[in-house]
Amino acid sequence: MSQGLDYEQRHLVKMANQIAMNVPGRTNIASQVANHMRSFWTPVMRAEIGEIARQHPDELAADVHGALDQLRVVEA
């Protein structure tokens, strides 16, 4: 993992990537990750993972980036 991330940020990255890896059915992964984050993550957590995605994009799976794009559209 990238240096510059604190423990909580590394934990959010790990959770987000694990969610994406464990989506059942392996279809519409980004949508399922976005739905999970919308349902179970606080707005602060979603904002923090969005900031991590901007500053450290290589830390997150492509499907997590897709989920964050979907969340930005809905929450804007």
Q: Domain locations in the chain? A: 7-75
CB 22 within 8 A of CB 65: no
pLDDT band for 76, please (50, 70, 90 cuts): low
| pLDDT tens-digit series, residues 1-20 | 567 899 999 999 999 999 99
pTM of the model: 0.90
